[in-house]
Amino acid sequence: MNYQWLHDTVRARFDSDAAMEAVMPQALSNQALRDKGDDRYLSAMTQRVFQAGMQHTMVNAKWPAFETAFAGFDPQAMARLDDAGIERHMKDAGIIRHRGKLRTIARNARFILDIREEQGTSFGAFIADWPVSDIIGLWRLLARRAAHLGGRSGAGFLRLAGKDSFLLTSDVVARLIAWNVITREPTTQAELQAVQQAFNTLQQDSGRPLCQLSAMMALSINPVS
């Protein structure tokens, strides 16, 4: 496992440094994460929940209609969304009418409010202050306490929200296996900890955010077309 090799391998896929950097994802600063309203985190949670098992382009195209239908995803208001409200939304042809996924809105709104009460701060500050050196710990918390944000969905939500996180796509997993970090797609805490440590080492060597390192690992397996 060597960052310089990773950089050189990926750089060879592009015509210039600028072309390579142009495809690198960007994470928000901690201050930008704090400044975001908690409604934006609930929106991102819900968007990720709907993306799971569906075409992302379809979900994204309908998202303005979701924002209108759910009044901007204010957590206080959405925590009161009951079954009668869900049934009204099930008649709205402008959104994706999936009763089970719609029910996660109230549950995740309450999760955000619970974190705010426990931490005495905004949900955005909670997300900003979580160390990226233990991003799998945040994945674990989301899987345990939020609705439908386990597995890859937790990392997907964080990416949508702008929090630095790696993604365990099939190509990233393939690179980690090739580097003998893991022997299969990681599922146990020991395997995930080994992955986290690998990313921490690469970050220390490169100064790049986790999101860019995972993109580079994917590109080292499957070049951009």
Spatial CB neighbours of 90, under 8 Å, sequence gap ≥ 6: 97, 99, 102
Shared domain for 105 and 180, answered yes or no, is no
Summarised one tens digit per residue, pLDDT across range 139-184 is 999 999 999 999 899 999 999 999 999 999 999 999 999 999 999 9
Give the pLDDT of residue 222.
82
Could you tell me if residue 5 is left (phi over 0), alpha (psi between -120 and 50 degrees) or otherwise beta? alpha
Shared domain for 141 and 175, answered yes or no, is no
4: closest CA among 206, 188, 212, 223?
A: 206
d(CA 6, CA 12): 10
Contact 126, 41 (CB under 8 A): no
CA separation, residue 157 to residues 55, 142, 146 (Å):
16, 10, 11
Q: Token pair for residue 81?
A: 């969304």
Give the pLDDT of residue 224.
64
Shared domain for 193 and 126, answered yes or no, is no
Residue finishing a domain among 127, 145, 161: 161
Spatial CB neighbours of 102, under 8 Å, sequence gap ≥ 6: 86, 89, 90
Shared domain for 91 and 202, answered yes or no, is no
pTM of the predicted model, to two decimals?
A: 0.94
Return the DSSP state at 190: H
Q: Where are the alpha helices (DSSP H) in 70-209?
A: 75-78, 83-89, 99-119, 123-129, 135-145, 152-161, 170-178, 189-206
Domain assignment of residue 197, given as a range? 3-27+166-221
The total of structural domains in the chain comes to 2
Shared domain for 188 and 93, answered yes or no, is no
CA separation, residue 55 to residues 58, 73, 171, 184, 210 (Å):
5, 22, 19, 26, 25
Q: Which CATH number does the domain housing residue 126 bear? A: 1.10.340.30
Shared domain for 50 and 148, answered yes or no, is yes
Contact 42, 73 (CB under 8 A): yes
Shared domain for 176 and 144, answered yes or no, is no
Q: Which residues in the chain show pLDDT less than 70?
A: 224-225
Q: Token pair for residue 87?
A: 């049934």
Shared domain for 111 and 49, answered yes or no, is yes
